[in-house]
A and B are shown apart, each in its own frame.
Chain A
Amino acid sequence: MIEIRALSKQFGQFHALKSIDLTIARGTVFGFVGPNGAGKSTTMSILATLMAPTSGTAKVGGYDVTEHPKEVRKLIGYMPDFFGVYDQFKAIEYLHFYAASYGIPKSERDQLIPQLLELVNLTDKKNAYVDTLSRGMKQRLCLARSLVHDPELLILDEPASGLDPRARIEMREILKELKTMGKTIIISSHILPELAEMVDEIGVIEHGEMVAQGNVQDIQNRLRVKRILVIRTEGREQEAEDYIREHPHVKRVSRDDRGIHVHFGGHDEEQADLLHGMIQHGFRLISFSEAQTNLEDVFLEITRGGGGTE
């Protein structure tokens, strides 16, 4: 569905994208992760035909975004990270306007729009003026707007940003439903851990470069090999930290109020050896536990670790 090859974007001296490659198959839900300014929105803008790349190619459904933008626009539903609404429109009029702008005849719109309002739980707000809707409702309305022409690909740039937890859950449920409808979705979000269960693949971008990309499970498994241990000792913390650092399977050690955080490259046996060794050396252990890793850890690990998942 999406094929990006050596895509670069430069703003003056600033390289927003540095030759990224990305392939997303039809029906995939792709999570785009990366810190602010990493290049997520730039990539999405290029895919949405709103920005020209400096070099490289991007294809959606086989159409090059620069050569056939009109065809690409038919295939995509785009929801930007920041967007405005026409406040003087009622919710239903707002959707009618966009549906008409996609060339959908009135008779079809009359059937389609109530369904979309129902999908995003806004049926009871159909006659409310858009400016009276809450932020979460506006986000949902914008999501409905991006669906008016039944696009194959949804490009959702931070669809849950600025939402309260309840609104985020509502948004997540709608996205799950869209996934079951077979849509290809490319979604960037800083709440990706919450979406982990519905994302098939992730791509991690940092400083305009694709740092890691692949199946969520694979990436998580790769990380799990390198466990994160949290160890608390009664006194002698610095000594314990130095001892741990000497262990051959320890990759990285840091210490904070919660204890000593150890990035451990070994398996169960080596982990037991470390524990045994610490006790033998007379360290009084309060706790020795394995931290649960989630998608957020994957992201932090990849971006903090200088770009390698090892």
Chain B
Amino acid sequence: MSRTERQSWRNKLINPVLNKEFTLRMRTPRSMWALLAYLIAIGTLALGFMYVTQMESSGGGSFDPNASRIMFYFISMVQLGLIAFMAPGLTAGVVSGEREKQTLNLLLTTQQSSATIIISKLVSSLSFMLLITVATLPVYSIVFLFGGISPAQLGMVFLFYLFTMLAIGSLGIMFSTLFKRTMIAVIVTYGVMLFLFGGTAFLYLVLHQIMESINRSSASPVDFSWIGYILGLNPAAALYSVFDPSISSTVFRAGWTGSGQQSAPIQLWQEFLLVFTVITGASIAVSIRYIRPRLKKAKD
């Protein structure tokens, strides 16, 4: 490969906008503090969990290796929560922030395409989130000391994180493009997170109760296994289904009336993957479409 070809590939991979995003993000002390705060949070929770488990299981003796799997689930869930907390903050201001700082118009008059700007901003935010997540690996290594978890499982969890970051990040960037003010974009993105994590679980539980009570008072009970699809939108439930696939069957058979399917029509994480692939694609497309004003007039 010639030097020019190498340069051309480098230019394709690291375009000016991405280069700028990387440089500016790592030049602020805020990034370092964010990383530190994140590691302290997850480290404290992991060590706290170990301490409590140790106290309860053997009254101050050694750490019970059987608890290491639970600990892995716990850290993974905490990490997912932290990602959901961090991603909107890192992405919901990337376009509106430039608009507020009055740098966006200058960027939009350059030759960089809307797609390059949006994707570079997304990749830059994802890279930083990935850096933070990878930095927590030493915490996970505590789990490996006690066994019970395979590297494949760990890999799956990290892939799930990557996907979740991409999905939340795309939503954040879309709101950042659509709303002029960062504050509103951040609030809306957190609102969507709250709905995905809390709202879907709440809706599932409420519907479950309602349908059960209907079935109890009815002579011909209805199949309400469809409510399982609601929980498939919940990132925490989807992650849990990666650890324990039987949860999907439990969720979908909640409304099982005794006939029909024996297993879940789809794993929760699979549904999550499918739905959020579409949402992510749509969010990126909307962002690309709306970062620049629509110049062409509608044909009469």
Contact = CB atoms under 8 A, between A and B. Distances in A.
Contacts of B109: 48-50, 73, 76, 78
Interface string A48-81: 1111100000000000011101100110101010
Contacts of A282: none
Interface stretch (B20-28, B73-81, B200-208, B271-279): B20-28
Interface residues of A, number: 32
A69 B295 contact: yes
Contacts of A70: 111
B269 to A, nearest CB: 39
A49 to B, nearest CB: 6
Nearest to B4: A105
Interface stretch (B38-46, B100-108, B240-248, B281-289): B100-108
Contacts of A48: 105, 109
A14 interface: no
Nearest to A79: B106
B17 to A, nearest CB: 7
A283 interface: no
Interface string B36-80: 000000000000000000000000000000000000000000000
A11 interface: no
Interface stretch (A94-102, A211-219, A290-298): A94-102
Given A52-B297, A88-B27, A100 B102 contact: no
Interface string B191-230: 0000000000000000000000000000000000000000
A65 B293 CA distance: 12
B296 interface: yes
A127 to B, nearest CB: 14
A88 B295 contact: no
Instruction: Place the interface of chain B in its size category.
Output: 20 to 34
B3 to A, nearest CB: 11
B16 interface: yes
B136 interface: no
Interface in B106-124: 106-112
A102 to B, nearest CB: 5
B27 A49 contact: no
B23 A88 contact: yes
Contacts of B103: 83-86
B48 to A, nearest CB: 36
Interface string A89-112: 100010001101111000000000
A145 interface: yes
Given A74-B111, A101-B110, A80 B105 contact: yes
A49 B295 CA distance: 8
A73 B110 contact: yes
B293 A67 contact: no
Contact of B110 (A51, A66, A98): A98
B87 to A, nearest CB: 22
Nearest to B28: A88
Contacts of B111: 70, 73-74, 101-103, 149
Contacts of B108: 49-50
Nearest to B27: A88
B106 A78 contact: yes
Contacts of A89: 20, 23-24
Interface string B250-280: 0000000000000000000000000000000
23 contacts: A49-B108, A49-B292, A50-B293, A51-B293, A52-B294, A52-B295, A52-B297, A66-B295, A66-B296, A70-B111, A73-B110, A73-B111, A78-B109, A83-B106, A88-B23, A88-B28, A89-B23, A93-B23, A97-B19, A97-B20, A101-B107, A101-B112, A149-B111
Interface of B: 16-17, 19-20, 23-24, 27-28, 98, 101-103, 105-112, 292-297
The 3 A-B residue pairs whose C-beta atoms are closest, nearest first, are: A100-B16, A101-B110, A84-B102
